[in-house]
Each structure stands twice: as C-alpha cells, then as structure tokens.
Amino acid sequence: MQLSFWAMSFLCFFVFLAGFVDSAAGGGGLISLPAFFFVGVPTHHAIGCNKFSAACGTTFSAFRFFTHKALDWKVAGISAIFSFFTSFLGTKLALKIDPITLKTVFIIVLPIVAVFLLLKRNFGSENKSFEIPQKKAFILAGGIGSVIGFYDGLIGPGTGTFAIIAYSMWMKYDLKNASGNAKILNLASNYASVIAVILSNKVIYSIALPVAVCNIIGNYLGSGFALKKGAAFIRPLMIIVILLLFGKIFFDVFGSMIF
C-alpha cells in the first residue's frame, strides 16, 4: 500500500504529535491511531503500524529518562515483567468479553480522575518514593505492572497515563519519575504487541518506518520538555489526554445511539 505525499505528511505530523504527548503524559495512541484510519490504512494494518512506531518512539523516550536518572530502574523493571505477561492475558480475555461493559465503567471513572488532577495542584510535584520500604515498593511495582498491563491488553488507550497516576498516587513518585517508570512498563507491553503484529504480517513497512522516525523525534522532544519542566508540563497534558480518552470511550459506547 502506498500513500500520497499529502496523506503521508498528514500522518507523519500527527504521529510526531502523538509521540510528543505520549513521552510526557501517555495516551499518544489516542492521536496517532485515528490518523492512520483517516488516511485509509486498513484497521489491522493501522494497529500494526501504530504499535511498531509507538514501540520505536517509546524506546528512545525511555532511554532519555534513563540517562537522566528520572526513573527507578528496579521498580520499573519489576512492573515491566508483570506487565508483559498480564498484557497477554488481557488480550486473550478481550476476545471473550463485551468491552462496552468495561468502557461504561470508565465513563464514570475518567471525569473523577480529571477533576482530581485539576483540584490537587500539588499532585506529583514532589518525589517521596523513598518513604516506602523496598519490599513494599517491589510488591506495589508488581501490582501496578499487573493491573496496567492487563488494562493495556484488555482495552489499551491511556495506558501510560494511568501508569503515571498509579506511580504517583501509590508509590509517591513525582510526575517526572512516574513518567520515566511508565515508559519502561510501556516498553514491555509494546514489544509484546509488536512481536504479535509482525508475526501476523500486519505491518506495512513503507508506512511504518517513516512514521516511526517522526514518533521518535516527537518522543525525544517531548521527553526533553518533561525532564526540564516536570509536573508543570506533565500534569496539564495528562488532563488533556484523560479528556480525549473520555471522549473516545463515550463515542464508542453511545456513538451509534447519537448518529
């Protein structure tokens, strides 16, 4: 499949934007995947190309957080291991249950999360993770990896955002370090998905490779802003991502009734 110059330019821009947002606040798929659909990439190939480009971008973003020591490698590593396996289980379960039921729950939960972030202005502004004993920290890391990985396999959109919130709320990381931890967790689930789509021949490399470069650039620049600005930059982006996710899920559940 070949895209026109303008279609490819459109796609590259939005995948770049998705990488920029995802590197700091998660939720980049809410921007990039609709762009693939808009230019006419078939559904399964759109998912494959999106997973491929996202994995490439997240790799560079995670590396940048790691080199700036803006993550806890042990905690993130434990989360990533659990995330890899539970993401697979979530994907298997997603084929057997009605996802609309779960999405209806999120229509109630997401506005509450958005209001919480708006009202609690000091959320994630200070790193107090050292207050948690190491054994408890490892247990929490495994729990976060399991829950977020399972969600990623079951539903998907907003995985990085929920991971950041979990690390900040349960483990007392500031948003910068929580975002760094979330990148490692996301890498595990992304690579599991990439292996699956490659083995299923769902990646169109003439499209996936150029947009992967754009996603890498977006992730690199976005992670730079996140590292420099911290919570002041990440928190507003998280609110935007949550509102986008709410809009998407609301449309998925009630769109057919409205239109």
How high is the mean pLDDT of the chain?
86
pLDDT per residue as tens digits for the range 135-171 = 999 999 999 999 998 887 777 778 888 899 999 999 9
What is the extent of the structural domain holding 75? Answer: 5-256
Of the candidates 203, 164, 211, the residue with the CA atom closest to the CA atom of residue 184: 164
Output the pTM of the full model. Answer: 0.83
What tokens does 79 get? 């989360």
CA distance linking residue 196 with residue 193, whole number of Å = 5
Question: Can you list the alpha helix ranges (DSSP code H) found in the chain?
Answer: 5-25, 29-38, 43-67, 73-94, 99-119, 134-154, 159-171, 175-199, 205-229, 231-258
Q: Higher confidence at residue 95 or residue 218?
A: 218
Of residues 104 and 235, more confidently modeled: 235
Residue 220 has pLDDT above 90, yes or no: yes
CA-angle at 237, arms to 231 and 240, nearest 5°: 140
Confidence band of 41 (pLDDT split at 50, 70, 90): very high
Supply 220's token pair. Answer: 């690199």
Q: Residue 33: its pLDDT value, please?
A: 86
Q: What is the structure's pLDDT at 221?
A: 95
Query: What is the rounded average pLDDT of the residues 12-34?
Result: 91
Tokens representing residue 4 in the block: 């026109």
- Calculate helix-pair angle for 43-67, 175-199, nearest 10 degrees: 140
pLDDT over 60 (residue 256): no
Tokens standing for residue 66: 């790691």
| Percent over 70 (pLDDT), the chain | 90
Q: How confident is the model at residue 209 (pLDDT cuts 50, 70, 90)?
A: very high
How many structural domains is the chain composed of? 1
Q: What is the pLDDT of residue 29?
A: 84
DSSP assignment string, 83-144: HHHHHHHHHHHHTTS-HHHHHHHHHHHHHHHHHHHHH-TTTTSS--GGGS-HHHHHHHHHHH
pLDDT category at 95 given cuts 50, 70, 90 is low
Instruction: Evaluate whether 197 touches 51 at the Cβ level (below 8 Å).
Output: yes
